[in-house]
Amino acid sequence: MRGFEYASPTTKEQAVSLLGSNWADADILAGGTDLLGLMKDDVVSPKRLVNIKDIKELRGITVGRDRSLRIGALVTIQELVDHAQVRQAFPVIAHTAGEIAGPQIRNMGTVGGNLCQRPRCWYYRAGYGLLAMDKTGEPLVPSGDNRYHAILGNAGPAYFVSPSTLGTLFIALGGTVRLFGPKGKREIPVEKFFVIPQTESQREHDLGPNEIVTEIVLPPLAGVKAASYEVRQKDAMDWPLALASVALSLNGNKVRSAKVVMGYVAPVPWRSKEAEEALIGKAITEETAKAAGDAAVSGAKSLGRNAYKIQLARVAVKRALLAAAGGGAK
Amino acid sequence: MAEYKWPEADKRTFIGKRISRIDGAQKVSGRAKYSMDINRPGMLFGKIVRSPHAHAKVKSIDTSAAEQMPGVKAVHIVAQVGTELLWAGATVVSLAAVDEPTAEDAMRAIKVEYEVLPHLVIDTDVKNAGEYARPANETKVGDPDKGFSEAEVTVEGNYGMAVITHCCLEPHGSVMEWEDDGKNVLAHLSTQAVSGSVAQIARPLEIPATNVRVKQDHIGGGFGSKFGPDEWDITAARLSKKAGKPVKMFNERDAELMVAGARPSAYAKVKIGLKKDGTITAWDSQSWASGGQGGGGSPPLPYVFVIPNQRKQHTALVNHIGSARAWRAPGHPQGCSITMAALEDAAAAIGMDPYDFFIKNIALTGQRAPIYTDELKIAADLIGWKKNWHPRGDKAAGPIKRGLGLSIHTWGGGGHPSDCDLTIQPDGSVELKMGTQDLGTGTRTALNIIVADTLGLPMNAVKISIGDSRYPASGGSGGSTTIGGISSSSRRASLDALDQIFAKAAPALGATPEDLEAAGGTIRVKSNPSKSLTWAQACSKLGATPLTIRGKNPGPGKLMDQGVGGAQMADVSVDIETGIVRINKIVAVQDCGLIIDLKLAESQVYGALIMGVCWALYEEKIMDAKTGRMLNPNMEFYRLAGIADIGEMVVHMMTGKGYDERGVIGLGEPPAVSPGAVIANAVANAIGVRVPNLPLTPDRVLAALEKKGGSNARI
Amino acid sequence: MEADDDDGKLNEKGSGLSRRNFLKVSGISLSVPLVMGYRVIKVSGAEVKLYGPGKVPLQLAINGKSYTAQVEPRVTLLEALRNELDITGAKRVCDRASCGACTMIVDGKAVYSCSMLAIDAQGKSITTVEGLMQGDTLHPVQQAFIDNDAQQCGFCTPGFVVACKAFLDKNPNPTSDQIQKGLGGNLCRCGTYVGVRAAVAQAAQKGGKRNG
Kindly report whether the global pTM for this prediction surpasses the value 0.80.
Answer: yes
| Residue C98 to residue A237, Cβ atoms within 8 A | yes
| Residue C15 to residue A25, Cβ atoms within 8 A | yes
pLDDT of residue A236: 84
User: Looking at B373-480, which runs of residues are DSSP E strands?
Assistant: 400-413, 418-424, 430-434, 462-466
What would the mean pLDDT of B234-245 be, rounded to a whole number? Answer: 98
Distance, CA of B3 to chain centre: 33
At A217, phi and psi to the nearest 5? -120, 130
Q: Are the C-beta atoms of B449 and B487 separated by less than 8 Å?
A: no
Quote the longest CA-to-CA distance of chain A: 60
Closest residue of chain C to B43, computed from CA coordinates:
C83
User: Looking at B163-230, which runs of residues are DSSP E strands?
Assistant: 173-179, 184-189, 212-215
Using alpha carbons, select from C143, C146, C145, C156 the residue that is nearest to residue B19. Answer: C146
**Strand, coil or helix: B57:** strand
Please tell me the distance in Å from B471's CA to the nearest CA on chain C: 22
Spatial separation of the C-alpha atoms in residues B635 and B591, rounded to whole Å? 33
Residue B485 pLDDT level (bands cut at 50, 70, 90): very high
Query: Does residue C101 carry a pLDDT above 50?
Result: yes
Please tell me the distance in Å from C34's CA to the nearest CA on chain A: 14
Residue numbers in B near A2 (CB within 8 A)? 104-105, 108
User: With pLDDT > 90 as the criterion, what percentage of chain B qualifies?
Assistant: 98
pLDDT of residue B1: 64
Spatial separation of the C-alpha atoms in residues B343 and B341, rounded to whole Å? 5
Spatial separation of the C-alpha atoms in residues C103 and C109, rounded to whole Å? 10
At B534, phi and psi to the nearest 5? -65, 160
Query: Does residue A315 carry a pLDDT above 60?
Result: yes
Residue C47 has a CB neighbour count (10 Å cut-off) of: 11
Closest residue of chain A to B699, computed from CA coordinates:
A308
B334-355 burial, b for 16+ CB within 10 Å, e for fewer? bbbbbbbbbbbbbbbbeebbbb
Please give the residue that has the higher pLDDT: either C6 or A165: A165
What would the mean pLDDT of C118-142 be, rounded to a whole number? Answer: 97
Residue C210 pLDDT level (bands cut at 50, 70, 90): low
Give yes or no for C6 touching B (CB within 8 A).
no
Residue C103 pLDDT level (bands cut at 50, 70, 90): very high
pLDDT of residue C29: 37
pLDDT of residue A222: 86
DSSP B628-682: --BS--STTTS----TTSS-EEEEEEE-STTTGGG-B---SSGGGTSHHHHHHHH
Residue C31 pLDDT level (bands cut at 50, 70, 90): very low
Peptide bond into B695 cis (omega under 30): yes
* Strand B44-50 versus strand B91-97 pairing type: antiparallel
| Residue A47 to residue C22, Cβ atoms within 8 A | yes
| Residue A13 to residue C44, Cβ atoms within 8 A | yes
B417-447 burial, b for 16+ CB within 10 Å, e for fewer? bbbbbbbbbeebebbbbbbbbbbbbbbbbbb
- Residue ranges of A 229-248 with Cβ closer than 8 A to chain B: 231-239, 241
**Strand, coil or helix: B218:** strand
Query: Does residue B152 carry a pLDDT above 60?
Result: yes
Residue C28 pLDDT level (bands cut at 50, 70, 90): very low
CA distance readout (Å), B704 to B184, B334, B691:
59, 20, 5
Spatial separation of the C-alpha atoms in residues B452 and A112, rounded to whole Å? 60
| Residue C120 to residue A53, Cβ atoms within 8 A | yes
Helix (H) or strand (E) holding C167: helix C157-170
| Residue B599 to residue C149, Cβ atoms within 8 A | yes
Please tell me the distance in Å from B671's CA to the nearest CA on chain C: 12
Give yes or no for A290 touching B (CB within 8 A).
yes
The upper half-sphere exposure of residue B459, i.e. CA atoms within 13 Å in the direction of its Cβ, equals 18
User: With pLDDT > 70 as the criterion, what percentage of chain B qualifies?
Assistant: 99
Q: Are the C-beta atoms of B205 and B283 separated by less than 8 Å?
A: no
Residue numbers in C near B169 (CB within 8 A)? 91, 93, 99, 101, 153, 155-156, 187-189
The string of pLDDT tens digits covering residues A31-63 is: 999 999 999 999 999 999 999 999 999 999 999
Query: Does residue C211 carry a pLDDT above 60?
Result: no
| Residue B582 to residue A238, Cβ atoms within 8 A | no
For B308, residues 6+ apart whose C-beta sits below 8 A from its C-beta are B141, B142, B147, B280, B281, B282, B364
Q: Are the C-beta atoms of B118 and B55 separated by less than 8 Å?
A: yes
pLDDT of residue C18: 44
Picking from B45, B122, B618, B636 by the largest number of A CB atoms within 10 A of its own CB, the best residue to mutate is B636
Using alpha carbons, select from A97, A65, A73 the residue that is nearest to residue A83. Answer: A97
* Nearest by CB: C149 against B21, B70, B611: B21
| Residue A104 to residue C17, Cβ atoms within 8 A | no
Peptide bond into A91 cis (omega under 30): no
Residue B414 has a CB neighbour count (10 Å cut-off) of: 18
Residue B218 has a CB neighbour count (10 Å cut-off) of: 24
* Nearest by CB: C74 against A4, A25, A53: A4
Spatial separation of the C-alpha atoms in residues B99 and C80, rounded to whole Å? 11
Peptide bond into C53 cis (omega under 30): yes
Helix (H) or strand (E) holding B341: helix B332-349
Give yes or no for C129 touching B (CB within 8 A).
yes
* Nearest by CB: C184 against B32, B611, B643: B643
pLDDT of residue B256: 98
Spatial separation of the C-alpha atoms in residues A112 and A35, rounded to whole Å? 13
pLDDT of residue A330: 40
Q: Which of A195-199, B70-74, B598-602, C4-8 has the lowest mean pLDDT?
A: C4-8
Please tell me the distance in Å from C15's CA to the nearest CA on chain B: 25
Give yes or no for A226 touching B (CB within 8 A).
no
Spatial separation of the C-alpha atoms in residues A243 and A168, rounded to whole Å? 8
**Strand, coil or helix: B548:** strand
The mean pLDDT value of chain B amounts to 97
CA distance readout (Å), C122 to A58, A136, B485, C107:
20, 46, 51, 11
| Residue A37 to residue C166, Cβ atoms within 8 A | no
Residue numbers in C near B641 (CB within 8 A)? 193
**Strand, coil or helix: B536:** helix
The string of pLDDT tens digits covering residues A71-123 is: 999 999 999 999 999 999 999 999 999 999 999 999 999 999 999 999 999 99
**Strand, coil or helix: B139:** strand
Residue C35 pLDDT level (bands cut at 50, 70, 90): low
Spatial separation of the C-alpha atoms in residues A205 and A192, rounded to whole Å? 8
Give yes or no for C113 touching B (CB within 8 A).
no
Query: Facing residues of B138 across strands?
Result: none
At B89, the amino acid letter reads G
- H helix intervals, chain A: 12-18, 35-40, 77-82, 84-89, 91-98, 103-108, 111-116, 122-123, 165-172, 190-193, 273-279, 286-296, 307-325
DSSP A8-23: --SSHHHHHHHS-SST
Which chains border C (3 or more CB–CB pairs < 8 Å)?
A, B
Which chains border B (3 or more CB–CB pairs < 8 Å)?
A, C
> Is the complex ipTM higher than 0.95?
yes
| Residue C49 to residue A7, Cβ atoms within 8 A | yes
Residue numbers in C near A19 (CB within 8 A)? 11, 16-17
| Residue A104 to residue C117, Cβ atoms within 8 A | no
Query: Does residue C15 carry a pLDDT above 90?
Result: no
* Strand B516-519 versus strand A242-251 pairing type: unpaired
Please tell me the distance in Å from C111's CA to the nearest CA on chain A: 5
Give yes or no for A1 touching C (CB within 8 A).
yes
Picking from B123, B580, B691 by the largest number of A CB atoms within 10 A of its own CB, the best residue to mutate is B580
pLDDT of residue B688: 97
At C167, the amino acid letter reads F
What is the phi-psi region of residue B436: left when phi exceeds 0, alpha when psi lies from -120 to 50, beta otherwise?
A: beta
* Nearest by CB: C129 against B30, B634, B642: B30
- Residue ranges of A 121-180 with Cβ closer than 8 A to chain C: none
pLDDT of residue A327: 59
